[in-house]
Amino acid sequence: MLPAPTGEYKVGTRTFSVTDDSRTELLGDKAGQAKRRLFARFYYPVAAESVEGMDQAVVMSETKLKALAKTFHMPIKSDTHFDSFCYQDAKPLGKFPLIIFSHGMGSYAESNHQMCIDLCSNGYNVLAVGHAFESVANEYDDGTVDYMDKTITKRVYDPYLRGTFALLKLMGDKNSSNEEAYAKFKAFQDKYARFIVGRMEERVKDIKFITDEACRRYSDYIDDPDNIGIFGHSIGGATAYYLCMTDDRFKAGMNLDGMLCGNYDGMVMRKPFCQISCDDAINTETKVAINTEAPYYWELFKGMRHQGFSDLKFFIPVKAVTGKMPSDMMHENLCKIGKSFFDKHIKGMDIEVFQPDNEWIQRRR
């Protein structure tokens, strides 16, 4: 069974699609022909009595499940997703802070649904963004679907094989300091990963545009549009870091195992940030500890793999894909860290950010 959210509130949900008329699509079969479209799922707190007798919302459609199974070459049945723990178009309860979520490349908007609903149940609005052609499937209000651009996989590193081997060498380096590792990663990025940096810059535009739209649509529910949290998985986490660095609205951010790519020469981080890492990727994420004037929190989840920091940990029980750490333990600790981090730095609560007392998790410096 999937873990139920831990907070006092029930969770409502609704979706919307939006087109950014100022941008022409760069990916997929719409490249150069259409404007950039985005999908979003909005989670918001509701009162328990308001959802009595309501059926739970269907969050994962058959279309998205089939696309996900095709991407990972594994069967993922619809009955794997037992409960969504949220209710379609339930009555909102009131105003709460906003947190944005950005998924990884080749993932989908609800990839971290379990963490989104847990945060929501603890008193946050959460907006999960679907990035067109980087999501396995973006389903829009008009019934149309955009699927992932199949060319992305080979364009991630250029040239692909040489870049992949260079990254593996960087990941295998166990003797560098944070500063040395970041210098090596920066050299790798500049040589092999310009496409990733370019996509992150496009994602920044996605987030800015859809945040403006959400704050307009849901102004009655959002507490303060200039006090927003943000988190993401993989490149979504790198996007969260960049936005905390460059956009005053985003006051605190969290990265779930994303390479901290981007151009940061001469820039200083002045927002609290929380980095979650696994052993494989730690040398690509040392930037969190460099050139910062704000508190940072860096937790190493041992035995984890990159995809395990999403809900795939529950749906694909293959240790080579999602890691050895038990899924319930991963989820519980990740949610406790995230909740306490945003409680402290978005709600302003006088608390300490949760530090697990667990042989699987180690705080880094």
| Digit-coded pLDDT (tens) for 79-94 | 545 689 999 999 999 9
Q: Residue 72: its pLDDT value, please?
A: 80
pTM: predicted TM-score of the whole model, two decimal places: 0.96
The closest of 335, 344, 349 to 121, measured between CA atoms, is 335
Output the DSSP codes for 13-29.
EEEEEEEEEEEE--SGG
Structure-block tokens of residue 240: 């969260």
Q: What is the CA radius of gyration of the chain?
A: 19
Residues for the chain: how many in total? 365
| Digit-coded pLDDT (tens) for 4-29 | 999 999 999 999 999 999 999 999 99
Q: What is the DSSP letter of 5?
A: P
The CATH code belonging to domain 10-363 is 3.40.50.1820
How far is 111 from 122, CA to CA, in rounded Å?
19
Q: Residue 78: its pLDDT value, please?
A: 56
Q: Give the side-chain half-sphere CA count within 13 A for 80.
A: 19
Reported as a pLDDT band with limits 50, 70 and 90, residue 75 is confident
Q: Residue 71: its pLDDT value, please?
A: 85
Check pLDDT > 70 for residue 242.
yes
Check pLDDT > 80 for residue 260.
yes
| Average pLDDT over all residues of the chain | 95
Check pLDDT > 90 for residue 106.
yes
What are the residue boundaries of the structural domains of the chain, listed by start? Answer: 10-363
Taking residues 185-206, what's their average pLDDT?
A: 97
Query: Helix, strand or coil for residue 300?
Result: strand
Q: Is the bond into 159 cis (omega within 30 degrees of 0)?
A: yes
